[in-house]
Amino acid sequence: MSDVAANPDLLNEIRAFVDEQVLPLESDFLLHGFAAVRERLEDVRAVARQRGFFAPQLPPSLGGLGLGLAAVGEVSRVLGRTPLGHFVLHMQAPDVSNMELPKRWGTPAQQERWLLPLTRGELRSCFSMTEPEHAGSNPTELSTTATRDGDSWVIRGRKWFTSSADGAAFAIVMAVSNPDAARPHERASFFLVPTDTPGFRLVQNLPVMGHGGPLGEAGWASHAEVRYDDVRVPLDALVGQEGAGFAMAQERLGPGRIHHAMRWIGIAERCLELMVARAATRRLGPGVMLGHKDTVQGWIGRSWAELEAARLLVRDTARDLEVAGQKGARLRISAVKLLVADVLDRIMDKALQVHGALGMTDFTPIAFWYRHERAARIYDGPDEVHEQVIARELLGAAGMPKPAKSGA
C-alpha cells in the first residue's frame, strides 16, 4: 500500500479509532499527566496493532503499512486532533524520525539491537542535539564532543530539550567528532548511546511554561536536560559516516517537517472545531450567542480559509518531496514550516480567546497545545530562518549578487 487512495476507508477507520479509543483518555492525560494513562495507552496501542494500522509510516517488512509521505501526512493530520494520537499509532516524535537514521544508515548490528525493537514499540528513544549554550538555529555550533580513545568513543557535553528522554532506552546524540574539519558542516557525527551507560545523566524534565513532570513519570511527553559525563561507547556506536551528522540531520528534517506540519494541521482543525462549538453554544444573554458576534464570525471564517490553504500546501509539498527529493522541494519545505506554524499559532490563540476563562484551564486541550506548540515557530528552524531561505532563493534567481564579505 503506497497511498491512502489505495484504501479510501483507512482515514475514516483511523479517525473513528481515535474518537472511540483515544479521546476518552485525553482528559486524564491533560489533568494528571502521561503516567496516569500510560498503561491504558499500551492497551489501545495493542488494539491498533490488531486492526492493522500500527506504524503506518513503516514498510511492511518492518510491520507497517508502507504508506508514502503524502499519505502518512494525511494520517498525521487525523492523529493530530489529540495530543495522544501519534503515540497510539507509533508515529510519535522523536521515535518516528529516529527510526529513519538506523534504517537508512545503521549497521545490521545496530538495526538488530535498536531499530527492530523500536519499530515494534518495545522501547522508546530520544534525540539529543540542542544545547543551552548555543543557538539552535545553527547546529554547526556544538560543544558536546566525541573523542576516540582506543576502541571507544568518549562523549562529553550538556544537552537540553532532549525530547522523550524520560524512560527512553537509547539516545541518538549529535556530537563534534572532528573539530578540525575544513567545513563546519563536517565536524559532527551521530552516535547511539544506551541510556543505562555510565555517565549518561538525566538531570531534569524541563518545565515548559510551568509544566514539566517529575523524572520517571512524565515519560514520552517530556523534554529533558541531559549530561554526558565521559560516556564511553564502542566505536560501532557511530551511525553512518564520521562527520556526516549535519547532512543526515538535514535528510531527517524534510520528511520530519511534513510530519510536524500535518500534525499541526490536525491540532488546528480540532481547535477550530472547539471554537465553533463554543461560539455556537455559549450564551451571552437572552437570545444572544457568542457566535452571533461579527468578530467571532470573522475569526472562524478566516481560520477555516487559512487552515485549508495550509493543508493544501503541505499536501503538495509532500508530493514534491516524493518526486523531486529534498533539493527540489527546498522552498516549499521552508514555506510549509513557516506558514503552518504561524496559522496554528493564530488559530490556537483565537480558540483560547473564544473559550474565555475555560480556555486557560486544562479542561480542554487548547491550553496544553498553547504551551507546547508555540514552539512550532522555533524548533526545526525559527520562522525568521525560513523567511530568509525563501527570500535569498528568489533574490538570487532574480540576479541579485551575494553581499560583499565583511571588511571588503
Each residue of 178-189: pLDDT tens digit?
A: 999 989 899 999
For residues 143-151, average pLDDT: 97
Q: What is the CATH architecture assignment of 125-243? A: Beta Barrel (2.40)
CA dihedral (205, 209, 210, 213) in degrees, to 10, reads: -30
Over 60: is that where the pLDDT of 130 sits? Answer: yes
What is the pLDDT of the chain when averaged over all its residues? Answer: 92
Residue 382 pLDDT greater than 70, yes or no: yes
% of the chain surpassing 90 pLDDT = 80
Question: What CA–CA distance (Å, rounded) separates 307 from 312?
Answer: 9
**Per-residue confidence at 328, pLDDT binned at 50, 70, 90?**
confident
pLDDT digits (tens, 9 = 90+) for 194-223: 999 999 999 999 999 888 888 988 999 999
pLDDT, mean of residues 345-350 = 97
Q: Quickly state the pLDDT bin for 406 (edges 50, 70, 90).
A: low
Backbone angles phi, psi at 238, to 5 degrees: -65, 135
Domain 4-92, CATH class in plain words: mainly alpha
Amino acid at 165: A
> Rounded to an integer, what distance in angstroms lies between the CA atom of residue 111 and that of residue 366?
38
CB 297 within 8 A of CB 280: no
- Mean pLDDT confidence for 70-75: 91
pLDDT digits (tens, 9 = 90+) for 277-295: 999 999 999 999 999 999 9
Band of pLDDT at residue 2, cut at 50, 70 and 90: very low
Residue 194: how many other CB atoms lie within 10 Å = 15
Matching fold, domains 4-92 and 247-397: no
What confidence score (pLDDT) does residue 219 get?
92
The pTM is what? Answer: 0.91
Radius of gyration of the chain (CA): 22
CATH number among 2.60.90.10, 1.20.140.10, 1.10.10.10, 1.10.645.10, domain 247-397: 1.20.140.10
Listed residue (127, 147, 129, 152) closest to 232, CA to CA: 152
Distance of CA 339 to the CA centre of its chain: 16
Alpha helices in 38-113 (DSSP H): 38-51, 69-79, 85-88, 95-98, 100-105, 108-110
Q: Where are the domains of the chain?
A: 4-92, 125-243, 247-397
How many residues comprise the chain? 408
Q: Which residue has the higher pLDDT, 253 or 164?
A: 164
